[in-house]
Amino acid sequence: MKHLLATEGMTAATATAVLDTAAQLKQTLLGREVKKLPTLRGRTVLTMFYESSTRTRVSFEIAGKWMSADVVNVSASGSSVGKGESLRDTAQTLAAAGADCVIIRHPASGAAHRLAGWLAEAGTSVVNAGDGMHEHPTQALLDAATLRERLGDLAGKRVAIVGDVLHSRVARSNVHLLTTLGAQVTLVAPPTLLPALVRRWPVTVSHTLDAELPSLDAVMMLRVQAERMHGGFFPSAREYSIAYGMSERRLELLPEHAVVLHPGPMLRGMEIAAAVADSPRAAITQQVSNGVHVRMAVLYHLLAHEEEDVA
Ligand code: CP
């Protein structure tokens, strides 16, 4: 695996290999006081975040450090990006400085793919840490890791992805990965927050959350992405919350074994009630914790393990 750019096109074998490695790493580090493996000693990992992030940036940094890589964080505001340097020139500069892997978050869909093309000659690996409304593959992998821990094999499991699907790279990556792993995915959203290409995805669509809940194994709530909506959205925030928010009443409609996910950051009181987010039925902190192990596994497969390429 040379790059991790998307879950669309990723094979079940590759996804399962990464998830199995993550589970193994988690088990290896369990209960250890010093969480440090020598695997990536001498390797240099750069994070370049052109959009804000807490979970993804921090967990990639921890993942790299736990694997003994040298991790350097480059922020747009403190670098020559602020002087107008292009993404291409910045990336080629960082590769020339010795980066083995560049992890990028960027507001433009396709930025990670472009970067991988520009860095092909340098042999630098690229990880997409979220590109516009396109994909966020490591989020989907950590969600799948969490669902496997809670539910076992995902084949045949029913998962609803709820809310602002239109603007969500998390939803896109999860649709592709979960269906590749055999889950049955239903998108639950108002028609105004569904992309046109949903017709080409192997999913079912519903506009009524209450009707779906009793038959689900998992429900994944999405953040309403106000920063990608210019001029407000329909329905209104209040109507959205009433129709699509995960309330305490709705938690009771789920089967007892069903799990509630949210990629974070959460808008408590909007798409998820505080009492639901903090309940043992929610796996939100487990998702964050699994994010570190999944990102360790991704770095391992990119930098320490020769195998086939990924989309
Ligand atoms: N889920 C996620 O990508 O969170 P951050 O924006 O905090 O990285």
Domains of the chain with CATH codes: 12-135+288-303 (3.40.50.1370), 137-285 (3.40.50.1370)
Summarize pLDDT for 205-216 with one digit per residue, the tens: 999 999 999 999
Q: With beta carbons less than 8 A apart as the criterion, state whether 195 and 166 touch.
A: yes
> What ligand 1 atom has the least distance to the C-alpha of 264?
1
Can you list the positions of beta strands (E) in the chain?
44-49, 70-75, 101-106, 125-131, 158-162, 184-188, 204-206, 218-221, 259-261
Measured by CA distance, the residue closest to atom 3 of ligand 1 is 56
Q: Alpha-carbon dihedral of residues 143, 149, 151, 154, nearest 10 degrees?
A: 60
> What ligand 1 atom has the least distance to the C-alpha of 105?
8
Local confidence pLDDT in tens for the 311 residues of the chain: 899 999 999 999 999 999 999 999 999 999 999 999 999 999 999 999 999 999 999 999 999 999 999 999 988 777 777 778 899 998 889 889 999 999 999 999 999 999 999 999 999 999 999 999 999 999 999 999 999 999 999 999 999 999 999 999 999 999 999 999 999 999 999 999 999 999 999 999 999 999 999 999 999 999 988 777 776 666 788 898 999 999 999 999 999 999 999 999 998 998 999 999 999 999 999 999 999 999 999 999 999 975 544 44
pLDDT of residue 310: 43
Q: Which token pair is 242? A: 């009433």
Point out the annotated binding site for carbamoyl phosphate.
55-56, 105, 136, 139, 264-265
Q: How many CB atoms lie within 10 A of CB 307?
A: 12
pLDDT of residue 79: 75
CA of 290 to the centre of ligand 1 (A): 13
DSSP state string for 138-153? HHHHHHHHHHHHHHS-
> What ligand 1 atom has the least distance to the C-alpha of 59?
8
SS (H, E, C) 32-55: CCCCCCCCCCCCEEEEEECCCCCH
Model pTM score = 0.95
pLDDT of residue 309: 45
Phi, psi of 230 (to 5 degrees): -105, 115
CA of 140: how far to CAs of 79, 92, 239, 262, in Å? 30, 28, 28, 11
Q: With beta carbons less than 8 A apart as the criterion, state whether 148 and 154 touch.
A: yes
CA of 121 to the centre of ligand 1 (A): 30
Ligand 1 pocket mutation, candidates 49, 51, 54, 73, criterion most atoms within 8 A of CB: 54
CA of 56 to the centre of ligand 1 (A): 5
CA of 170 to the centre of ligand 1 (A): 10
Ligand 1: which residues within 6 Å by Cβ?
53-56, 130, 136, 139, 263-265
CA of 264 to the centre of ligand 1 (A): 6
CA of 131: how far to CAs of 31, 109, 122, 178, 224, in Å? 35, 5, 22, 19, 17
Q: Which token pair is 232? A: 């407000």
Ligand 1 pocket mutation, candidates 50, 52, 53, 292, criterion most atoms within 8 A of CB: 53
3-class secondary structure, 308: coil
CA of 215 to the centre of ligand 1 (A): 29
Summarize pLDDT for 73-101 with one digit per residue, the tens: 988 777 777 778 899 998 889 889 999 99
Q: Whole-angstrom Cα distance, residue 20 to residue 287? A: 16
> What ligand 1 atom has the least distance to the C-alpha of 52?
6
Phi, psi of 161 (to 5 degrees): -110, 120
Ligand 1 pocket mutation, candidates 50, 55, 287, criterion most atoms within 8 A of CB: 55
